[in-house]
């Protein structure tokens, strides 16, 4: 079933927002969620559309969500283009992320408030970002933590925009990095104490299990997952199955489903 509204965002647990690039990854993510009886978000965003196009990828994600036996949201990730947000809302996305983190604070507030008004009118919830998150969500490489989110500024931002969820920078970076990344959980707890919007963690790939569990305990309700599924997908495609495409697809789906299930269980906590 397509998950509409913010019901998938509950304090004390985090929903996994897993990036999909293909029909195989969409199937794997939903399969994992159904096996566990847990909600999940299919993150089908601007950076995913390159090879197959927005409408086909979105149509597959939305069809899978509607046919699922568990709540599945379809989420637009890291979008900086208001027109693309409107297009995805028209397609039926259940949530969108407007990323104005590269803007000055007041410009980010203004842009986010505009998107919140339009998305809420369409029945979708909105995520925004405050703070500098480095790295590339579609590939791994060298990246260092950027400017961290200020708790007081996060509280002001959420109050002025009415945003439904806020992605923060607390030492996290996109993708795998050569050196281990650790979260500033003290800062994260300080943000959660004053910010009325539930928090989102990007760049969770490769983080120690204790940091992820600690982030959820501190108030994170959504965690983005991407790089680990990409690696599982690419590794599965190396299998020697002759010219049996269906077998290769099956191997890739199961490999990704195993990774997705591990993340869904870890983030769901005791719920």
pLDDT of residue 209: 86
pLDDT in tens, 72-129: 999 999 899 989 999 999 999 999 999 999 899 999 999 999 999 999 999 999 999 9
Residue 112 lies in a domain: yes
- Residues belonging to the active site: 77
Given pLDDT bands bounded at 50, 70 and 90, which one contains residue 139? very low
* pTM of structure: 0.89
- CATH number, domain of 15, equals 3.20.20.70
pLDDT of residue 52: 86
What is the extent of the structural domain holding 204?
6-268
Residue 250 lies in a domain: yes
pLDDT in tens, 230-264: 999 999 999 988 899 999 999 999 999 999 999 99
Residue 1 lies in a domain: no
Helix (H) or strand (E) holding 246: helix 245-268
Residue 144 lies in a domain: yes
pLDDT of residue 135: 43
Buried b (16+ CB within 10 A) or exposed e, 36-69: eebbbbbbbbbbbbeeeebeebbebbbebbeebe
Task: Tell me how far apart the alpha carbons of residues 178 and 114 are, in angstroms, rounded to a whole number.
Answer: 38
Total domains in the fold of the chain: 1
At 144, list the tokens: 């260092």
Mean pLDDT of all residues in the chain? 89
pLDDT in tens, 8-56: 998 889 999 999 999 999 999 999 999 999 999 999 877 788 788 899 9
């Amino acid at each position: 079933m397509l998950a509409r509204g913010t019901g998938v965002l509950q304090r004390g647990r985090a929903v996994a927002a897993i990036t999909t690039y293909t029909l195989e990854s969409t199937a794997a993510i939903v399969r994992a969620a159904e096996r566990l009886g847990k909600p999940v978000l299919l993150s089908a965003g601007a950076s995913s559309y390159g090879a197959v196009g927005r409408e086909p990828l979105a149509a597959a994600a939305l069809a899978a969500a509607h046919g699922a036996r568990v709540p599945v949201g379809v989420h637009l990730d890291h979008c900086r283009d208001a027109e693309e947000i409107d297009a995805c809302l028209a397609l039926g996305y259940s949530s969108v992320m407007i990323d104005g983190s590269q803007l000055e604070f007041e410009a980010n507030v203004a842009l986010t408030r505009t998107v919140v008004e339009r998305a809420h009118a369409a029945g979708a919830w909105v995520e925004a970002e405050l703070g500098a998150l480095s790295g590339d969500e579609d590939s791994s490489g060298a990246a260092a933590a950027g400017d961290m989110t200020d708790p007081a500024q996060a509280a002001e931002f959420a109050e002025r925009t009415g945003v439904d969820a806020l992605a923060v920078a607390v030492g996290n970076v996109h993708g795998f990095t050569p050196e281990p990344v650790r979260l500033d959980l003290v800062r994260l707890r300080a943000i959660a104490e004053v910010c009325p919007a539930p928090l989102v963690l990007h760049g969770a790939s490769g983080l120690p299990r204790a940091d992820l569990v600690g982030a959820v305990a501190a108030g994170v309700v959504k965690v983005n997952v991407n790089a680990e599924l990409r690696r599982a997908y690419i590794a599965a495609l190396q299998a020697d199955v002759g010219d049996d495409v269906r077998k290769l697809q099956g191997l890739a789906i199961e490999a990704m489903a195993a990774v997705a299930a591990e993340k869904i269980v870890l983030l769901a906590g005791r719920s």
